[in-house]
A and B are shown apart, each in its own frame.
Chain A
Amino acid sequence: MGIEGVGARVARKEDKRFITGAGRYVDDMIVPGMKHAAFVRSPHAHAEIAGIDVKAAQAMPGVHGVLTGRELKADGIGNLICGWMIHSKDGTPMKMGAWSPLAVDRVRYVGDAVVIVVADTKGQARDAAEKVEISYKELPAVTDASKSMDAGAPQIHPEAENNLIFDWDIGNADETAAAFKNAAHVVKLDIVNNRLVPNAMEPRAALGHYDKAEDHYTCWTTSQNPHVARLVMSAFYNVAPENKLRVIAPDVGGGFGSKIYIYPEEIVCLWASKKTGVPVKWVADRTESFLTDAHGRDHHTHAEMAFDKDHNILGLKVETKANLGAYMSLFSSATPTYLYATLLSGQYNIPAIHANVKAIYTNTAPVDAYRGAGRPEATFVMERMMEIAARQFGLSPAELRRKNFVTQFPHQTPVIMCYDAGDYAASLDAAMLAADYAGFPQRKAQAAKAGKLRGIGMSCYIEACGIAPSAAVGSLGAGVGLWESAEVRVNAVGTIEVLTGSHSHGQGHETTFAQLVNERFGVPLDSVSIVHGDTDKVQMGMGTYGSRSGAVGMSAIVKALDKVEAKAKKIAAHLLEADEGDIVIENGTLKVAGTDKNVPWFQMALAAYTAHNLPGGMEPGLKETAFYDPSNFTFPAGCYICEVEVDPDTGMTEIVQFVAADDFGNIINPMIVEGQVHGGIAQGVGQALLEGAFYDASGQLLTASYMDYTMPRASDLPSFQLSTSNTPCPSNPLGIKGCGEAGAIGSPPAVINAITDALGHENLTMPATPQKVWAAARAAKH
């Protein structure tokens, strides 16, 4: 490894613009003639739209247009779609209700967009929006997935009887039932995975610009996947054909899944730009973000695990109700199915598994993938189960897990996944050592003297990343392939541009991807530029989510680099009158191995473009493209240990140490990987202790600002102790597994296991607020 190559802790190339205020986010973009939009949204969770009167709004100062869903439909703009088909166990396709970008005759959640107002300033647009008169006929609403299927519950979409979208099975019910018949012990668990709001710090935004002269649209948008946005807006929403639509996702201020989806606002801003003849910019305020960004999680689960007399796992039964909100967001159906139930084997040998998932409509914001996406929900079920089982058996939590670990690879689980590599005991050992697990009883006794309850909890998570082999996900219902693309352009002076279909919104691609090039060709990082986020610059790509940009995005770059290297060596061999097989690349120079004959990288590049002296028949230039389609998922795994002190008098929980031992396979930049884990843990701790999206019975979101929804602050968290081990992923050329979501996946059960250990009381739901912890402490008679 060089000082800028693979494995080096290189400070980020992209930082300069962010630390000097020169980042360029969508809200920073200005287009000549640009106007501002405000949306009029439903104040009701469920209502019929009896009438819309826009006259008063149109007469307000500065207004350029007040547009409704009827006009949008008249122009042929399509409904939003869910891009992953799930079939119920009876073979019927999922029941997708219509989602118009602007509601036409019915609203189904508080925040549903109804009217767009375009005006000279944002203030004028908001003033005019206040003057739009919409008559609603209120309908009863339901927000709780556990009640939405009850007889007499309000019916949200005519397509979905009893609000049931699908009733889906995975695994083998008969084998699982047989396993339970032979069980010596059965451990049962009812568990809620709390609803969360992703809360990227940059609110969503869209700037739509229709160029009449060119009959061409440009959309600047806060997207994790601009090419997918272009594809979907063209193919399904009829905004414009792909060749007439450019989508740009410039600097994007965090996503965590919430910026994967194509929302009504970007579609409507593009359409409104054509309709009004002016570029239209919309930027969400924070309450709009709370109301309309796709939420995460919201599972209600009953699980049972069967053990033999020696505490080996025999089988697992899981029943989950997943709240998908009022409409099916783009990948909402995949999250509680193939991203969730396929991980219910955890790190363990489980001979038989059966899971049933019912996806349900409610009058709440759409729910889709949020950092971890299904895998945190699976891990929470598994790792609470293992902890509770160990406590019931009187075994150490580590030993029960260790006894059941998968140790032979590849390992085929009963729920599709084939784990390719791992060493789960290594992570467990590393975490226990780092946490001084053996010294815990002493620390607990010490804390007790101060009137504090000290607890320790662990979580051994596994996830599936590197999404995903296209043919495999296609067979499971995905509407797209999940490969990635790369283009490597070597310029005539030897500098390099890498164009990638991955999108960076905090992950540091401009640095790590360049390190890959430096490692291969010895070109300094300063001479390598990473280009992403613009459909006019980069060929088709699938974007960044599911911890895929390392394992899939960088693997595509490797393939393109392979091609560049092969051609570069041919050119060098020709120039040096040597055999192509004897050329090696060292420190930016192409050399004939074992001699002092060499040609510097830039001279080879210049030769490729002058084309004065190339091998016979070779095309000039040095630019290669590649598409990489993974052959398997990757399986990051690890062990997290959380230690807490609870004050039984106040219910306050302090995290006194948090240890993470992860196996991410090979690592390009440890500094950036650690940063990903830090952030993931903070979101997981947030879920466990602080965060929860709550609707009241009428469907009003009670937690729609930072005054009501508790975001993790610096004082809520400790510094984290991290370590990594490495079993390289065998299925991709870099041996990378992915690290973006692990922290959010592994940490919630570790925190809850620690608090319940402290309390000696299992009945504690997330978020474990001081009030709940205090009540649990009282119930446990502390």
Chain B
Amino acid sequence: MSDVSLVVNGKRVSAAVEDRTLLVHFLRENLGLTGTHVGCDTSQCGACVVHVDGKAVKSCTMLAAQASGSTVTTIEGLAEGADLHPVQAAFKENHGLQCGFCTPGMIMAATDMIARHPEGLDEATVRDELEGNICRCTGYHNIVKAILAASQAMSGKSKAA
């Protein structure tokens, strides 16, 4: 067993977990944060993306023990108060989701992507950087549109395609 202690969505949590417990299982099963999803077993699909110390991480590819001492934000902790985060709002406004299963991971990855590109984003960059997130419903068309819209809303900048 491993003792883990981390801050999740602003709250400190501590627990003793089996050594093999993945961060995604810790979030879902120990903390009941079921917005983070498991869509594959091979770290390909990105449905489990969360932020660890401010960076997008596939929580199925990290042990809970490795995350001990870190600050984790999940989809449940992204919005501040009752207002949607601009990326969440853009996904809704642009119909960037259908079944919703990949959506939390997409939004967490997109938030990180936008933060890494304060100069603004173009379509090719967004498509390239979504390599680690699979969606089967939307054909990515509206996800790309949503991320570009959110990027613009957050930075006021967009690059010509």
Contact = CB atoms under 8 A, between A and B. Distances in A.
A21 B76 contact: yes
B92 A11 contact: yes
A253 B138 CA distance: 12
Contact of B95 (A11, A680, A711, A712): A11
Contacts of A24: 34
Contacts of B63: none
B18 A678 contact: no
A200 B102 CA distance: 10
B131 A20 contact: no
B134 A201 contact: yes
B144 A256 contact: no
Interface string A683-701: 1000000000000000000
A505 B126 CA distance: 26
B142 interface: yes
Given A19-B84, A286-B40, A714 B97 contact: no
A20 B84 contact: yes
A675 B138 contact: yes
A707 B74 contact: no
B42 A707 contact: yes
B23 interface: no
B128 to A, nearest CB: 5
A586 interface: no
Contact of A123 (B20, B38, B127, B144): B20
A714 B123 CA distance: 10
Given A508-B98, A672-B95, A675-B95, A256 B44 contact: no
Interface string A5-23: 0000001101111111111
Given A202-B99, A706-B42, A717 B139 contact: yes
Nearest to A28: B34
Contacts of B141: 675, 678, 717, 719-720
A201 B91 contact: no
Contacts of A712: 139-140
Interface in B54-89: 74-76, 78-79, 84, 88
A421 interface: no
Contacts of B135: 201
Given A21-B35, A679-B138, A200 B99 contact: yes
Contact of A15 (B39, B45, B91, B127): B91
Contacts of A717: 127, 139-141
A21 B20 contact: no
A21 B34 contact: yes
Nearest to B135: A201
A28 B143 CA distance: 24
B153 interface: no
Interface string B12-47: 000000101000000010000111111111101101
B149 interface: no
Q: Is the interface of A mostly helix, strand, loop or mixed?
A: loop
A671 B146 CA distance: 13
Contacts of B47: 201
Interface string A380-398: 0000000000000000000
Nearest to B123: A719
Nearest to A22: B35
A19 B95 CA distance: 11
Nearest to B105: A201
Contact of B142 (A16, A18, A19, A675): A675
A305 B99 CA distance: 41
A251 interface: yes
A315 interface: no
Contacts of A21: 33-36, 74-76, 104
B75 A16 contact: no
A580 interface: no
A17 B39 CA distance: 18
Interface residues of A, number: 57
Given A201-B47, A683-B136, A675 B127 contact: no
Q: Is the interface of B mostly helix, strand, loop or mixed?
A: loop
A22 B138 CA distance: 20
Interface in A251-277: 251-254, 256
A25 B92 contact: no
Contacts of B103: 18-19, 23
Contacts of A15: 91-92, 97, 100
A677 to B, nearest CB: 8
A287 interface: yes
Interface string A21-56: 111110110000000000000000000000000000
Contacts of A508: 98
Interface in A651-688: 671-672, 674-675, 678-683
A202 B42 contact: no
Contacts of A681: 139
A706 B40 contact: yes
A507 B130 contact: no
Nearest to B97: A18
B48 to A, nearest CB: 11
A103 B136 CA distance: 32
A286 B39 contact: yes
Nearest to A290: B40
A218 B91 CA distance: 34
Interface string B96-117: 0111111110010000000000
A720 B101 contact: no
B93 interface: yes
A285 interface: yes
Contacts of B139: 678-683, 712, 717, 720, 743
A203 interface: yes
B74 A505 contact: no
A508 B92 CA distance: 12
A19 B97 contact: yes
Contacts of A18: 97, 100, 103-104
B92 A705 contact: no
Nearest to A9: B95
Most A-side CB within 10 Å, residue of B42, B91, B145: B42
A681 B142 CA distance: 13
A201 B127 contact: no
B128 A11 contact: no
Most A-side CB within 10 Å, residue of B20, B39, B137: B137
Interface string A490-508: 0000000000000001111
A705 B40 contact: yes
B98 A714 contact: no
A143 interface: no
A11 B93 contact: yes
A162 to B, nearest CB: 37
Contact of B131 (A12, A27, A256, A713): A713
Given A22-B35, A201-B136, A679-B138, A714 B18 contact: no
A25 B101 CA distance: 9
A717 B134 CA distance: 12
A21 B107 CA distance: 10
A705 B37 contact: no
Contact of A286 (B41, B91, B93, B142): B41
Interface of A: 11-12, 14-25, 27-28, 123, 199-203, 251-254, 256, 283, 285-287, 505-508, 671-672, 674-675, 678-683, 705-707, 711-715, 717, 719-720, 743
Interface of B: 18, 20, 28, 33-42, 44-45, 47, 74-76, 78-79, 84, 88, 91-93, 95, 97-104, 107, 123, 126-128, 130-131, 133-145
Given A28-B34, A714-B127, A717-B140, 16 more contacts: A11-B93, A14-B100, A20-B35, A20-B78, A21-B104, A200-B101, A202-B101, A253-B101, A254-B137, A287-B41, A506-B99, A507-B98, A508-B98, A706-B45, A715-B130, A719-B144
17 contacts: A20-B75, A21-B36, A123-B18, A201-B37, A202-B101, A286-B39, A506-B100, A679-B139, A682-B139, A683-B139, A707-B42, A713-B130, A713-B134, A713-B140, A715-B127, A715-B128, A715-B131
Across the A-B interface, the 8 shortest Cβ-Cβ residue pairs: A21-B35, A18-B100, A253-B101, A682-B139, A506-B99, A706-B44, A506-B98, A21-B75
